[in-house]
Structure 1
Amino acid sequence: MVSLKDIKKSNASLQDLPPGLVAVFVGATSGIGLGTLEALAKNANGPRAYIITRSKANATPIIDNLKLLNPMATFMPIEGQFSFIKDVDSMSEEIKRFETHIDILCISPGYLGLGGRHDTPEGMDTDSALQFYSRQRLIMNLLPLLERSSSPRVISVFAPGFEGPIDKDDLECRKHFDNIKACRAASTMTDLMFEELAKERPTVSFIHSYPGQVGGRLMDHALASASGLLWLPAQISRYTVLPVYTHLMCITPEEAGQRTLFLGTSTRFPPTTDHGITGKVDGFVERPNGVGVARSTVMKDGQGNGVYRVNWNAEIVKDSKLIDQYREEGYGKMVYDHTTNVFERSLSGNAN
C-alpha cells in the first residue's frame, strides 16, 4: 500500500515542474473526478484542465472554486452528453482545436442504475456507454494528442478486480440484461481493450483503477434509480443505511482524488516503450522512497506492456484467471473489433 502521506508528498512535487500540464476530465463535477481535479489545482504549476460536462452553467461554480485554489490555472468546460458517441466526437474535436498535446486523461463518470436496460438514441445501454463505450471512444480520439506528451497517462476509474464473464456472441449483454452482469462485463472489456491499445501506442500508460469505497453520489444515484419491487427497500436503504455506511466505511472524495492524481503523475506506472529509446519519460514525479515500479498486466523478458489494474491504494489488483484465459484465446482483438463496430453503428443512425 502506498501511504496517503507519500502520495500527498509526491503530488506536491508537481509544483517543481514547469507550468502547462494539460489534463482532460470526465466526471469531474462531483465525487472522485472533482477530488482529482481539486488535487491537480492545489498541486500543479499553472495547469490547463478541460472538464467535460452536460452543462457549462453547472460547471461555472466549480470552476470559480478551482480558480481560488490556483489562480494561475486554466479550467475550460466542454459541453456535451458523454453517453452519446456523436457528442464524444464533437467534444474531442473542440479539445483538439485548443491543444497540441494532452498529459493526463482521467475518466470517472459515476453511474450505476438498478432499473434495467435504458438505451440511448444511438442504441447503447446508458450504463454500458458510460462505463465502457464512450470512454473508449474518447481515449481513441485523443490518443494522437496523448502521444505528443512526454509522459502520457490514461486513467479509467472503474472496477478492476470485479471482472465478469463476457459472451462473445452477446458482448453488449442484450440477452437477459442485468445491470451487474453488464457492469462486470464492461470491466473485463476495459482490461482487454487497454491491452490492445497499448500494443498500438506503446508510449502511453493505461490504468484501470478501482477507487475503493468512496463517499459520494454514485450509490445514492443507484438506489434512486431502483424501480418496481426494489423501489421501497432501495429508498429505505438510501436514507438510513447509506449515510452510516458512507461515514464509517468510505474514504473521502478528496483522498480518492489525491490517490488518482498520483496514478496520473508517478513514475510507478511506466509505458511499454523505454523512455531512453523514445525520448519520453515514464512519469512526471519520481516514486516515493520504498515504492517500486508497478507490475503491468503482461510481463515479457522483464518488460511490461504499460497496462495496469490498480487498487484504491495504488497497489496492483490480483491477477485474474478469467482475463488470462481470454487473453490466451485472443479475446482482446475481438473486443477491439466489436467496439469499433459499435461506434460505426451508433454514428450511422442505425440503433439496432
Structure 2
Amino acid sequence: MKTTGLLTLLFTSMAATAIAGPNALPMGVEVVEIDGKTTVREVPHALLGRGLDKRCRECVGQGGSCTIGDGSCYSEDPPLYCTWCGDKCGSRCYLRINNTLPKTRNNTHKTYHTIYTMVRYSEIQQSNREFGETSRAAPFVAVFVGGTSGIGKSTIKALVSTNGSLKIYLIGRKSAESGIMPFIEKLQTINPNANVAWLEGEVSLLVDTKKICEIIRSKESRIDLLFLSTGYAPFGPREETAEGVEITQSLRYYTRVLFILHLLPLLREGKGRVVSVLAGGMEWAVTNLDDIDLKKPGSFGVVNAHIQCANMTTATMERLADDNPDVTFIHSAPGSVNTGNVRRGIDSPNSVKAWLIWLFLEPLIRLLSFSNEESAQRHLFQSTSAVFGGRGVRWEGNSGRNSRGDNTAGLFLVNEKCDCTTNEKAVSSVRQNAKDKIWDHTLEVLNPYL
C-alpha cells in the first residue's frame, strides 16, 4: 500500500470539516474575477464538477448536464440546492468559492462544488431532545458493544441524558469492570428511568460473544438499538486471538457480525436498528479476496486492515439489510474523534511508530477532532432519528438515501456530518465482485458459533 493511501485514510474525515458554512453562496451563482474585476453570474451545472469533494465530482461526471437557471434544479424551499445532485449524492450540494478568489496561470477562476451537511447540528440536538420527550409503552432497549470507552461510552451518556425510559446492556471485558461501575452509577443518578446492566465478556472472542447474546435473548423479547463500536487501529504486527482470528479484525468485523446474527430476531421484533461505527462511505474499489484475513506475509497493516474491514462491513450489512427490511442498518464513519485508543494497537511504547503517533498524529487529532460531546450527539441522532428510515424521531426534512441511492429501507453509509453517501464507484465494485465471497468466508468463520 502506498504512503498516499495511508494519508488519504488519515485525512479523509478531517477534510470533510472544510465544507461550506451557512453563508455559502446560493446554488447556481459563482463569483469570478476576470480582467481584475469581480463579477457575480449564473453558472451551468456542468462547471461544478471541478471541486474538492470526490462524491460530487463523480455525480457530475455521471451525466449532470442540467443548466442552473431554468428552474428544474431548484428546491422550492430554501436553502436552494441541486436536486439532481441530491438524488445522486443523498446530500444538499452548494457552490463554494475560495475566499481569496485564486487565479490560475491563465487568469481563470476556480470554483468548488462541496457537500453541504444534510442536517445542522442544532437540528441534531433538537431531535435528540425530542427522543427523550417521546412517551413509550415500554423502555427503549439498547445493547452497546464497545461502550466502556470512546464513542460508545459518550453515546451512552448522551442517550441516558435524554431522560427517556431506557434499558441498556453495556458489554465489556472483565478488566474494564472496576472502572466502568462508577460510570454506570453516575448514569443512573442522571436518569432514574435508565436501567443500565453490565455484561462481562471478552468480545474479541466469538465464543464469548455467543454466550453474551444468549444471555440477552433469555432476558429480552425485542431490541431497539444495537450499537457496535469495538476495535482500534492495528499499528503493530498481526496478533491472533485464541480462536485464530486477528484481534482487530475480530473486534471490528467478525464479532460485530456475530452479534447482529444472534440478535436479529429481537431486532426484527422491535423494528430496531444496528449502528456499526467504523468507515461507512470510505470503502475502496479493491478487496483482497485471495487473502481475506490478510494472513500472507506483507498483506497485513493498518491501511490494508482498515480497507478490508470497511469493505467487508458494508458488503455484509447491505446483504443483511436486503434480507431484513424492518431493521435499519447504519455503517457510520465517525470522522476524527479523540477516543484515546490511537495507541492501543502499538506493540512497543518506545518504537519509532509510537513516537510518530505521539509527536504528530495525536496532536493533529486533538486539533481537528470533534469533541466527545458532539460526536455523541451525532451518533445518538443516527441511533434514533427517522431520517435514516425505520422507527425513530419524526424528521420533517429530506430523508437519507441508502447505499443504493434510494429513499427506502436498507444500509445507510453515514459520515461524521450525518450525511449519507453511496460511495457509488467503490461500493458498486464491492457489491459486484466481492459481496458473495465475503459472505461465504464470513459464514465459514462464524458457523461454529451460530
TM-score band by shorter chain is: 0.7 to 0.9
Q: Secondary structure at the match of 2:363?
A: helix
In the TM superposition, residue 5 of structure 1 has moved relative to its aligned partner by: 1.3
Which residue matches 2:207? Answer: 86
Structure 1 range deviating more: 17-26 or 232-241: 232-241
The alpha-carbon distance between structure 1 residues 303 and 245, as it changes in their structure 2 partners (threshold 3 A), is closer
**Partners of 2:249 and 2:373 in 1: CA distance:** 27
**Partners of 1:84 and 1:128 in 2: CA distance:** 11
Q: Secondary structure at the match of 2:338?
A: coil
The alpha-carbon distance between structure 1 residues 57 and 332, as it changes in their structure 2 partners (threshold 3 A), is same
Q: Secondary structure at the match of 2:343?
A: helix
Which residue matches 2:307? Answer: 184
Q: For 1:36, give the aligned amino acid.
A: T
Matches within 5 A, 1:1-150: 1=117, 2-17=119-134, 18=136, 20-55=139-174, 56-149=177-270
Q: Secondary structure at the match of 2:269?
A: coil
1:266 and 2:266 correspond: no
Q: Secondary structure at the match of 2:399?
A: coil
In the TM superposition, residue 263 of structure 1 has moved relative to its aligned partner by: 0.5
The alpha-carbon distance between structure 1 residues 238 and 334, as it changes in their structure 2 partners (threshold 3 A), is closer
In the TM superposition, residue 231 of structure 1 has moved relative to its aligned partner by: 4.5
* Cα pair 2:401 2:421 within 8 Å, conserved: no
Q: For 2:124, give the aligned amino acid.
A: I
**Partners of 2:155 and 2:352 in 1: CA distance:** 33
Q: Secondary structure at the match of 2:245?
A: coil
**Partners of 1:53 and 1:128 in 2: CA distance:** 17
**Partners of 1:125 and 1:196 in 2: CA distance:** 23
Task: Give the number of the structure whose alpha-carbon radius of gyration is greater.
Answer: 2
Which residue matches 1:201? Answer: 324
Q: For 2:131, give the aligned amino acid.
A: L
- How high is the sequence identity, in percent, across the aligned residues? 31
Structure 1 range deviating more: 158-167 or 97-106: 158-167
Q: For 2:161, give the aligned amino acid.
A: K
Stretches of structure 2 lacking an aligned partner (at least 5 in a row): 1-116
Q: For 1:34, give the aligned amino acid.
A: K
* Cα pair 2:378 2:418 within 8 Å, conserved: yes
**Partners of 1:314 and 1:146 in 2: CA distance:** 23
**Partners of 2:377 and 2:403 in 1: CA distance:** 24
Q: For 2:435, give the aligned amino acid.
A: G
Q: Secondary structure at the match of 2:142?
A: strand
Which residue matches 1:257? Answer: 376
In the TM superposition, residue 259 of structure 1 has moved relative to its aligned partner by: 0.6
- Alignment counterpart, residue 314 of structure 1, candidates 409, 418, 423: 418
Matches within 5 A, 1:271-290: 282-287=390-395, 289=396
- Alignment counterpart, residue 295 of structure 1, candidates 398, 401, 404: 401
**Partners of 2:315 and 2:365 in 1: CA distance:** 32
Which residue matches 1:339? Answer: 442
In the TM superposition, residue 31 of structure 1 has moved relative to its aligned partner by: 1.0
**Partners of 1:239 and 1:117 in 2: CA distance:** 21
Q: Which has the higher helix share?
A: 1
What is the CA deviation profile of residues 244-276 of structure 1, one whole-angstrom value per residue up to 9, with x for unaligned ones? Answer: 324321111221111111011111111xxxxxx
* Cα pair 2:326 2:409 within 8 Å, conserved: no
**Partners of 1:191 and 1:211 in 2: CA distance:** 15
CA-based RMSD of the aligned residues comes to 2.0
What is the CA deviation profile of residues 24-44 of structure 1, one whole-angstrom value per residue up to 9, with x for unaligned ones? Answer: 001111111011100110014
**Partners of 2:125 and 2:211 in 1: CA distance:** 35
* Cα pair 1:20 1:46 within 8 Å, conserved: yes
The alpha-carbon distance between structure 1 residues 328 and 252, as it changes in their structure 2 partners (threshold 3 A), is same
* Cα pair 2:173 2:202 within 8 Å, conserved: yes
In the TM superposition, residue 167 of structure 1 has moved relative to its aligned partner by: 2.4
Q: For 1:245, give the aligned amino acid.
A: L
**Partners of 2:211 and 2:240 in 1: CA distance:** 21
Structure 1 range deviating more: 127-136 or 170-179: 170-179
TM-score normalized by the length of structure 1: 0.87
* Cα pair 1:206 1:308 within 8 Å, conserved: yes
Which residue matches 1:158? Answer: 278
Q: Structure 1 runs of 4+ off > 6 angstroms?
A: none
**Partners of 2:383 and 2:338 in 1: CA distance:** 21
In the TM superposition, residue 226 of structure 1 has moved relative to its aligned partner by: 4.1
**Partners of 2:362 and 2:288 in 1: CA distance:** 37
**Partners of 2:306 and 2:361 in 1: CA distance:** 21
* Cα pair 1:268 1:283 within 8 Å, conserved: no
